[in-house]
Amino acid sequence: MIIKSHIRGGYRAAADYLKDQGLNEKTRIVEISDPEAKNLDDAFHNMWVVAGCTKATKPLHHISINPMKDERLTDKQVLAIVERCEQKYGYKQFHHQRVIIEHVKDGRQHFHVMWNRVSLMTGRAVWPGQHWNKSKQVCREMEKELGLKRPMPRRVKRALKRLPNKGRVRGTSDRYQTLKAPTRPISRQQSIGGRRRILSSRPSGRYSTPAPYYPSRPFRPTIIRKGRRKDQNIPDSEKMYFRRPEMSTAELIAWAFETGNYAVLASFGIYIHPENFEP
């Protein structure tokens, strides 16, 4: 099941869209919550009267409930889905006007639900928050409660399109749809640029799919950025391997001349051959 959610305005356009036969094979009114409205025109006119006293420019909340093609929802199931959506969106029961319409197009059933976001009790528009994510949560919850099928995620469809055979993904559950396409065996070895590569058949990610083959990319060396050195503010005498923090640089050079330690002198840029060194 898929639920699409939109915030919109335009009462006249909404009424015309819901009652227009168009390409739909069937159009049926499931519910009009306003007891004073006899048809869709009266229902949306009353919504306009209620929302006209506020500053809301888009007071209508429109969702479409789309089950799978081979599934049929009863009015009781649709009302259960609508009430769960109201809980998620923050609409209190009987505080908001709503309209539920059934459309059947190309043999597939879907429903349209319109709420007036302006509350009948407070006179203020209620914002449903992240209504896209909340609609997905309702889909996953009601699929388990009503035993409905879950559509295949888009990432799985994209992965199937990249596969050569475009067949069923191994390891996926039966609740997902399958793309019907002729299967073609894939060679485990392919050659590009004179080099042979072996495709890995190990499962990757949540769905066990063969690893896709990509041509070799040009080598890009990793650039290591050098930051501030830790010993930048340490005296030179403390940088020596023998560590003499009690001496200054001048005292350390004098000590090296006295003891004949040419390695210490070389660390300061004073190079003297050991044979010519006379302490």
Look at the chain and report how many structural domains it folds into. Answer: 2
For residue 18, tell me if it sits in a domain: yes
For residue 60, tell me if it sits in a domain: yes
For residue 194, tell me if it sits in a domain: no
CA atoms within 13 A on the CB side of 186: 18
> How far is Cα 268 from Cα 202, in angstroms, rounded to an integer?
58
19-33, 86-100, 239-253 — which one is most confidently predicted on average? Answer: 86-100
Of 22-31, 64-73, 205-214, 242-251, where does mean pLDDT reach its minimum?
Answer: 205-214
pLDDT bucket at 175, cuts 50 / 70 / 90: very low
Element at 196 (helix H, strand E) = strand 195-198
Residues 140 and 41 in one domain: yes
Residues 126 and 10 in one domain: yes
Residues 140 and 244 in one domain: no
Beta bridge partners of 161: none
* 8-state DSSP, 242: T
Beta bridge partners of 100: 31, 113
> How far is Cα 79 from Cα 123, in angstroms, rounded to an integer?
25
Domain span holding position 261: 236-274
> How far is Cα 73 from Cα 270, in angstroms, rounded to an integer?
91
- Burial, 29: exposed, middle or buried (Cβ in 10 Å; 0-12, 13-18, 19+)? middle
Residues 117 and 248 in one domain: no
pLDDT of residue 173: 47
pLDDT of residue 277: 55
CA atoms within 13 A on the CB side of 45: 7
Element at 7 (helix H, strand E) = strand 2-8
pLDDT of residue 125: 92
Read off the tokens for 108. Answer: 């597939």
Residues 138 and 17 in one domain: yes
Residues 245 and 142 in one domain: no
Name the H helices within the chain.
11-19, 40-51, 75-89, 131-146, 154-162, 249-259, 262-267
Say if CB 73 and CB 80 are below 8 A apart.
no
State yes or no: pLDDT of 174 exceeds 60: no
For residue 212, tell me if it sits in a domain: no
Of 42-56, 61-75, 83-97, 236-250, where does mean pLDDT reach its minimum?
Answer: 236-250
pLDDT bucket at 160, cuts 50 / 70 / 90: confident
CATH code at position 34: 3.30.930.30
Question: How many whole angstroms from its chain centre is CA 102?
Answer: 30
For residue 119, tell me if it sits in a domain: yes
pTM above 0.85, yes or no: no
- Burial, 136: exposed, middle or buried (Cβ in 10 Å; 0-12, 13-18, 19+)? middle
Say if CB 18 and CB 114 are below 8 A apart.
yes
> In degrees, to the nearest 5, what angle opens at C-alpha 215 toward C-alphas 212 and 219?
125
pLDDT, tens only, 186-222: 444 444 444 444 444 444 445 444 555 555 555 565 6
pLDDT bucket at 7, cuts 50 / 70 / 90: very high
- Domain termination site, one of 146, 179, 199: 146
Say if CB 142 and CB 1 are below 8 A apart.
yes
Q: When comparing pLDDT for 206 and 137, which is higher?
A: 137
